[in-house]
Structure 1
């Protein structure tokens, strides 16, 4: 091989002009395919069967036929329909149409990798479908989408070489023209290969940068190192963090400013009215729900007074969580209706009864219903303080600076001030659940729903979560709790509802349900739960 000739061809303007043409085709085709790919991915994930099936034939054809054949097809067929595109634009169109099929499947796979619980948590905070996709799902999905999309970027650069068959003057065709005059195949094609390699290397470097930016473990490690030095992100002192030698907890905020009016029947400074004269705050009237033909709720009816703490207990599969999710309309009801503060959540009245509204998230936020999930469901890509301020800023229009100030007050109240810049994966289960409670409280709810908030925790972490719930109960927050924490329920519940097979078997005060149950099924279940609690206590002592 003539090395000097190779260097000469490596700097040959004709080859560089061919590379420039190839890169323009690749970049334009990739950028043009991206929005169509996202749209097609969303269609493939739609709840509507027709939308899900519509893109399948297109994807099947584009992925199953050679790109060379597709380019020749468009080049010869488009003029028959009066579309006289140049070879350059035909190449862009052909590569774009081909890449839509591949990129849409990559995006769909990334979006489906995000657990539904993340969407539920965002929806419970009041985020719209667009906000959920933009703020929660897509940023997390990008960790799996980015490497595959970078590969597609490299593929499309290499596929530009096939545009030579429709006479596009890109790098490969330019190389062939040079070879046809001097027959130095090795030197010319090696130079072209190096130029292709340089272009794809730039994509690889961009991929590496993006992956480092999306690496939560790496970002979390940097924060942990800063925290050990007593400094926050960017070298700033962590606001609200306890300082060495202080010896006291940060002062708790005036919690009441974060809570909606808990006891609607009592005015400012008045004593609550007697229970019999108070209007119910939550009304559940003959609610029924089925999944795939299986009835999980059967004509469930009961009321919750303002400021009451209601515990839902019962065996697994009894419908407790489903009932909880129907209250804030994470699940629809088949029959019956539920009102919170006299308003429907995610429904509106019609001549034929109540019908679901499209913007259920906004309805949920307007009424003021917050929810805490069993498995925390914090947004993994956001820091603690970003988790807390997301809904106040995005849903309720709060000033970002004020929202951060409020969030720091709540974190100090929960004894978590020093963790504001940590990511969820850096925290214990108990800390994550307390952050989840704080995130719900930051929206200033009037009603809080708890779905087995301690069942995913180690026994030694349960008390710190229950302590936060106790303080909320003391503040007068209306709460509905799915849990088997009988000790907590005995002291802080106003009402206990025992469910089995989707029905209410018994409802009453904690004393009536736990100490003198009037139903054998209730008595047997309470006995089993108490035995389990005693066993856990003995294990913890050991």
Structure 2
């Protein structure tokens, strides 16, 4: 090989002009394919079968036939139907259509990798479908989508070489023209290969930068180092200011008493005392559950469930696994629809309307959920992994309730201080213990100023030593007068703080009443047996009088 000839061709303007054309085709095709790929991925994930099936023939054909054949097809067929595109734009169109098929499947795979619980948590906060996709699902899915999409970027750059068959003056065709005049195959094609390699290397570098940006472990490590440095300087975690000499640093300097919670409670809460009797009128239920029925795949999981919840009440739902407790809880805020019956919260339907005596779901359930003011805390925390603690807490106040960002940040810091977690505001969920994550989840729900809080087994995923941290926060909420519905087997906590206990089995309410009635003298053998089993498991758990 002639080295001087290789260097000559490596700097030849004709080859660089061909590379420029190839890159323009690749960028245009890739950018044009992106929105269609996302749309097709969403169609493939639709709840409607006909919508899911529509893209399949297109994807099947595009992925199953050679790109070279596709380019020739478009180049010869488009003029026959009156679309006289140039060779350049035919190449862009052909590569775009081919990439839509591949990229849509990459995007679909990334979106499906995000757990449904993330969508549930976002829905429970009142985020719309678009906000859930834009703010929660897509940012997390990008961690798995980015490497594959970068690979597709490299593929499309290389596929531009096939555009030479329809006379596009890209890099490969330019190389062939040079070779046809001097026959220096090795030097010319090696120079062209180096130019292609340089272009794809730029994509690889962009991929590396994006992956580093999306690496939560790396970002979390940097935050931990900065937080440790701040503690060593004696900075207040709430304000970032250096504490006076001799002052105690960290979250322990923050006032965590219950009065900090009052501003986040609904003003009407002051009108209700513990037994739900309002000062300005007769006893009125706040949540009305009337003959609710629900089936999954033909199996009835709720059977004509009816009971009322009054303002300020703490209601515990207990029962064996599969008894319908969680399903009932999720129907209250319309994370699950009901097949029959109705549920009202504060006199309003959540996510549906009554029509001819039957519930009709609304399309915008999120707005209804936010308007009524129902918060929810999940068994497995369901914090948004890509957001810091502070960002998790302010997401709904800012995006759903229109709170100014600065105000939302200030209020979130107050809540974190109230819970003794002020120093963790810039941490990511994976850097926290289970108890800390669950307390953040409670704070996130409280930050929306809910009128009703739902708890779905909030302590069952925690180690025993972390349970009391969460129960202590729930106790403070109960003391404040928050209306709460709790699915849990924390019998000791229920004895002390529940106003009503509902025992369910096989989708039905077997017994309900005051804690002392259900736990001490159950009138149903199934209730008695279940309570006995739970009490055996709960032996050794500290009671209210033993709490710190």
What TM-score comes out, normalization by structure 1 length? 0.95
Q: Tell me the CA shift for residue 239 of structure 1.
A: 2.2
> Any idea what the Cα deviations from partners look like across 1:225-276, whole Å, max 9, x if unmatched?
11111269xx996325796742854113531110114648549xxx944899
Q: Does 2:394 correspond to 1:389?
A: yes
Q: Would the aligned equivalents of 2:272 and 2:311 in 1 still touch at CA under 8 Å?
A: no
Whole-angstrom CA distance in 2 between matches of 1:56 and 1:258: 49
**Paired residue secondary structure (1:254):** helix
Whole-angstrom CA distance in 1 between matches of 2:334 and 2:477: 23
Q: Residue 529 of structure 1 corresponds to which residue in structure 2?
A: 534
**Paired residue secondary structure (2:539):** helix
Q: Residue 296 of structure 1 corresponds to which residue in structure 2?
A: 301
Q: Tell me the CA shift for residue 6 of structure 1.
A: 0.3
- Does the C-alpha gap of structure 1 residues 377 and 152 become closer, same or farther in structure 2, counting only changes over 3 Å? same
Q: Residue 475 of structure 2 corresponds to which residue in structure 1?
A: 470
Q: Residue 371 of structure 2 corresponds to which residue in structure 1?
A: 366
Q: Would the aligned equivalents of 2:340 and 2:358 in 1 still touch at CA under 8 Å?
A: no
Q: Residue 409 of structure 2 corresponds to which residue in structure 1?
A: 404
Q: Tell me the CA shift for residue 512 of structure 1.
A: 0.1
Match of 1:260 among 266, 279, 300: 266
Whole-angstrom CA distance in 2 between matches of 1:258 and 1:77: 65
Q: Tell me the CA shift for residue 468 of structure 1.
A: 0.2
Whole-angstrom CA distance in 1 between matches of 2:455 and 2:435: 15
Alignment of 1:176-195 (within 5 A): 176-195=176-195
Q: Tell me the CA shift for residue 428 of structure 1.
A: 0.2
Q: Tell me the CA shift for residue 353 of structure 1.
A: 3.5
Q: Residue 224 of structure 1 corresponds to which residue in structure 2?
A: 224
What TM-score comes out, normalization by structure 2 length? 0.94
> Any idea what the Cα deviations from partners look like across 1:453-478, whole Å, max 9, x if unmatched?
00000000000100000000000000
Whole-angstrom CA distance in 1 between matches of 2:15 and 2:248: 69
- Does the C-alpha gap of structure 1 residues 38 and 58 become closer, same or farther in structure 2, counting only changes over 3 Å? same
Q: Residue 250 of structure 1 corresponds to which residue in structure 2?
A: 254
Whole-angstrom CA distance in 2 between matches of 1:469 and 1:375: 16
Q: Would the aligned equivalents of 1:265 and 1:278 in 2 still touch at CA under 8 Å?
A: no
> Any idea what the Cα deviations from partners look like across 1:511-530, whole Å, max 9, x if unmatched?
00000000000000000000
- Does the C-alpha gap of structure 1 residues 176 and 237 become closer, same or farther in structure 2, counting only changes over 3 Å? farther
More moved, 352-361 vs 213-222: 352-361
Q: Residue 511 of structure 2 corresponds to which residue in structure 1?
A: 506
Match of 1:428 among 399, 409, 433: 433
Q: Residue 540 of structure 1 corresponds to which residue in structure 2?
A: none
> Any idea what the Cα deviations from partners look like across 1:460-518, whole Å, max 9, x if unmatched?
00001000000000000000000000000000000000000000000000000000000
Whole-angstrom CA distance in 1 between matches of 2:329 and 2:129: 21
Q: Tell me the CA shift for residue 348 of structure 1.
A: 1.7
Q: Would the aligned equivalents of 1:296 and 1:318 in 2 still touch at CA under 8 Å?
A: yes
Alignment of 1:316-465 (within 5 A): 316-351=321-356, 353-465=358-470
Q: Would the aligned equivalents of 2:510 and 2:524 in 1 still touch at CA under 8 Å?
A: yes
Q: Would the aligned equivalents of 1:262 and 1:306 in 2 still touch at CA under 8 Å?
A: no
Q: Residue 175 of structure 1 corresponds to which residue in structure 2?
A: 175
Q: Which runs of 5+ in 1 are unaligned?
A: 538-542
> Any idea what the Cα deviations from partners look like across 1:384-414, whole Å, max 9, x if unmatched?
0000000000000000000000000000000
Whole-angstrom CA distance in 1 between matches of 2:271 and 2:3: 91
Q: Residue 112 of structure 2 corresponds to which residue in structure 1?
A: 112
Q: Residue 546 of structure 2 corresponds to which residue in structure 1?
A: none
More moved, 156-165 vs 220-229: 220-229
Q: Would the aligned equivalents of 1:261 and 1:446 in 2 still touch at CA under 8 Å?
A: no
Q: Tell me the CA shift for residue 195 of structure 1.
A: 0.2
Q: Does 2:158 correspond to 1:154?
A: no
Whole-angstrom CA distance in 1 between matches of 2:282 and 2:308: 13
Whole-angstrom CA distance in 2 between matches of 1:245 and 1:487: 38
Whole-angstrom CA distance in 2 between matches of 1:100 and 1:132: 23
- Does the C-alpha gap of structure 1 residues 35 and 301 become closer, same or farther in structure 2, counting only changes over 3 Å? same
RMSD: 2.0
- Does the C-alpha gap of structure 1 residues 507 and 534 become closer, same or farther in structure 2, counting only changes over 3 Å? same
Q: Residue 484 of structure 1 corresponds to which residue in structure 2?
A: 489
> Any idea what the Cα deviations from partners look like across 1:297-325, whole Å, max 9, x if unmatched?
00000000000000000000000000000
Whole-angstrom CA distance in 1 between matches of 2:162 and 2:469: 64
Q: Tell me the CA shift for residue 5 of structure 1.
A: 0.4
- Does the C-alpha gap of structure 1 residues 89 and 231 become closer, same or farther in structure 2, counting only changes over 3 Å? farther
Q: Residue 545 of structure 2 corresponds to which residue in structure 1?
A: none
Q: Tell me the CA shift for residue 25 of structure 1.
A: 0.2
Q: Would the aligned equivalents of 2:454 and 2:485 in 1 still touch at CA under 8 Å?
A: yes
Q: Residue 85 of structure 1 corresponds to which residue in structure 2?
A: 85
Whole-angstrom CA distance in 1 between matches of 2:403 and 2:155: 45
Q: Would the aligned equivalents of 2:271 and 2:279 in 1 still touch at CA under 8 Å?
A: no
